[in-house]
C-alpha cells in the first residue's frame, strides 16, 4: 500500500526532485553496506512478484502506471503500459493478476497482453493472492473487506469483512488452509480468515505500525514490510516472536519471498527501487575425517567464518576466517550436486581472506560452497542471479 503516493504525486516540485535524488543516493549507500542486498531502480515501486515461467521479477509502479520487468542492478524494461494505478500483484503460470483501482486485470508475463478483467467495484484494491484452486482473494483498503474472485468466470463477491482494521497485504497459508493478512495503522498485526465461514481472528499483535506486505518462507515464518520500522519484520511460524531482520528501507511495500532461492524482494516506494535480501544461509561444521576407532576429543574448529555474496559485477565473493595451518580448498556444487569448481586457495588469497569467483559460465540457480582444511568444513548455500 502506498498512501504517500497520492500526496507525493501532487507535491513533486523541482526542489523535491533534487531532495529525492540525494535521498536515493543515501538509500543506495545504506543498502550497499548490507552485502546480502542488491538494488534495482523502479520509479515508485509498489509490488514485486516473481515470474517463474520466464525466470524474472516484475514490479508495479502507480507512479508511472506501468508494470516493469526488473533487472537486478540494471535498467528495468516495460512489460505493460499503461495500466491504471497498479498495486498488488500475483503470478499464476504465465499470467500476472494486478489490482487496478476497483478492478483486477490479468496480463501475459511474456507479451504484456491483457487476458483477464474482473470488474469488482472496490474502492481501493491493494493486496492480492491465490489459493491455487482457481480463486483470487483481494483486500480493499478503504472498504475494509476481502473479495473472492473466480478466475474461470471473472465474477467476484465479498468474502470477509475486516471490521475496524484496515487490510493490506494478503497471502494464502497453504499449511494451515487459511488466508492471512496484515493491517495498516498503529499497533498493526496479522489476522487469519477461516475459509469455511469467513470469520476473522487476530493471530499476532505488535507495537509496530503500518504493515504493507506479508509473505512466508519455506519454514512458514512470516516476513512483513513495515513503514513505521522502515524495514522487514520476521514473525516465527509459532507466532511467538517478532524481530526486525532488515532496516534502512524506504517505505517498503508489497513484498515477495522466492522459496526456490530464499530471497526476499522488497519494493521501496519512496526509494524508487527494488532490493533483494538473501535469507537462505546454511552454515554447518562437518567432520571430513571421521575415524570410528578414534574417540579422542577433537581440537576447536579452525574455520570460524565463511560467507558468500554477489557483488555489483555479478561476481561471487567468498570470505572466510581461519586459524588453520593447513591448506584450504574451495569447492562449488550445483543444487543437483554437480561439481562446478574445485581448487586450492592461493597464498595471496589466504593473506587477503577472500577470493573472487567469476560467473560468466554460471547459470542462475542455487549453489553450495564449501571451504575445508581437511579436518573441518564450512558450507554456505546461496542463490545466483545475473
Query: Which fold does the domain 41-260 belong to in CATH?
Result: Neuraminidase (2.120.10)
Q: Where are the domains of the chain?
A: 41-260, 285-384
d(CA 165, CA 184): 7
H-assigned helices in 232-313: none
Looking at the predicted structure, is the pLDDT value of residue 155 above 70? yes
What are 178's three cell numbers? 487459511
Q: What are phi and psi of 22, to 5 degrees?
A: -70, -35
- Tens of pLDDT, residues 316-338: 889 888 888 888 999 998 876 77
Three-state DSSP class for 257?
strand
Confidence of residue 218 (pLDDT cuts 50, 70, 90): confident
Three-state DSSP class for 337?
coil
Q: Any residues with CB less than 8 A from the CB of 222 and at least 6 apart, and which?
A: 180, 190, 204, 214, 215, 216, 234, 235, 236, 237
Q: What is the pLDDT of residue 27?
A: 46
State pTM to two decimals: 0.69
What are 241's three cell numbers? 516472536
Cα angle at 99 between 203 and 177, to 5 degrees?
A: 35
Looking at the predicted structure, is the pLDDT value of residue 350 above 50? yes
Q: How far apart are the first and last CA of the chain?
A: 29
Element (H, E) at 347: helix 347-352
- Tens of pLDDT, residues 162-198: 999 999 999 999 989 999 999 999 999 999 999 999 9
The arithmetic mean of pLDDT across residues 348-357, rounded, is 88
Superfamily of segment(s) 285-384: Immunoglobulins (2.60.40.10)
Amino acid at each position: 500500500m502506498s498512501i504517500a503516493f497520492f500526496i507525493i504525486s501532487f507535491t513533486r516540485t523541482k526542489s523535491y526532485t533534487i531532495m529525492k535524488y540525494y535521498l536515493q543516493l543515501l538509500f543506495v549507500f545504506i543498502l550497499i553496506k548490507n552485502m546480502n542486498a542488491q538494488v534495482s531502480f523502479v520509479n515508485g515501486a509498489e509490488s514485486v512478484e516473481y515470474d517463474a515461467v520466464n525466470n524474472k521479477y516484475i514490479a508495479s509502479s502507480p507512479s508511472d502506471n506501468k508494470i516493469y520487468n526488473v533487472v537486478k542492478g540494471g535498467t528495468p524494461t516495460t512489460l505493460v503500459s499503461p495500466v491504471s494505478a497498479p498495486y498488488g500483484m500475483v503470478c499464476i503460470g504465465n499470467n500476472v493478476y494486478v489490482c487496478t483501482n476497483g478492478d483486477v486485470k490479468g496480463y501475459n508475463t511474456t507479451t504484456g497482453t491483457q487476458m483477464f478483467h474482473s470488474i469488482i467495484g472496490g474502492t481501493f484494491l491493494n493486496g492480492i493472492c491465490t489459493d491455487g484452486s482457481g480463486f483470487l482473494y483481494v483486500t480493499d483498503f478503504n472498504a475494509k473487506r476481502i473479495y473472492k474472485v473466480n478466475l474461470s468466470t471473472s465474477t467476484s463477491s465479498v468474502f470477509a469483512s475486516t471490521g475496524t482494521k484496515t487490510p493490506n497485504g494478503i497471502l494464502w497459508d497453504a499449511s494451515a488452509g487459511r488466508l492471512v493478512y496484515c493491517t495498516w495503522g498503529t499497533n498493526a498485526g496479522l489476522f487469519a480468515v477461516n475459509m469455511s465461514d469467513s470469520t476473522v481472528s487476530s493471530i499476532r499483535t505488535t507495537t509496530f505500525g503500518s504493515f504493507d506486505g506479508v509473505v512466508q518462507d519455506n519454514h512458514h515464518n512470516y516476513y512483513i514490510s513495515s513503514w513505521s520500522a522502515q524495514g522487514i519484520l520476521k514473525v516465527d511460524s509459532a507466532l511467538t516472536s517478532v524481530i526486525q531482520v532488515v532496516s534502512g528501507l524506504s517505505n517498503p511495500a508489497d513484498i515477495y519471498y522466492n522459496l526456490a532461492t530464499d530471497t526476499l524482494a522488497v519494493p521501496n516506494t519512496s526509494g524508487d527501487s527494488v532490493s533483494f535480501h538473501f535469507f537462505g544461509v546454511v552454515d554447518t561444521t562437518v567432520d571430513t575425517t571421521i575415524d570410528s576407532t578414534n574417540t579422542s576429543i577433537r581440537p576447536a574448529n579452525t574455520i570460524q567464518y565463511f560467507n558468500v555474496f554477489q557483488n555489483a559485477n555479478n561476481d561471487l565473493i567468498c570470505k572466510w576466517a581461519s586459524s588453520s595451518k593447513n591448506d584450504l580448498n574451495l569447492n562449488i556444487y550445483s543444487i543437483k550436486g554437480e561439481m562446478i569448481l574445485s581448487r586450492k586457495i592461493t597464498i595471496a588469497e589466504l593473506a587477503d581472506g577472500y577470493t573472487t569467483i567469476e560467473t560468466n559460465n554460471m547459470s542462475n540457480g542455487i549453489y553450495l560452497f564449501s571451504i575445508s582444511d581437511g579436518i573441518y568444513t564450512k558450507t554456505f548455500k546461496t542463490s545466483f542471479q545475473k
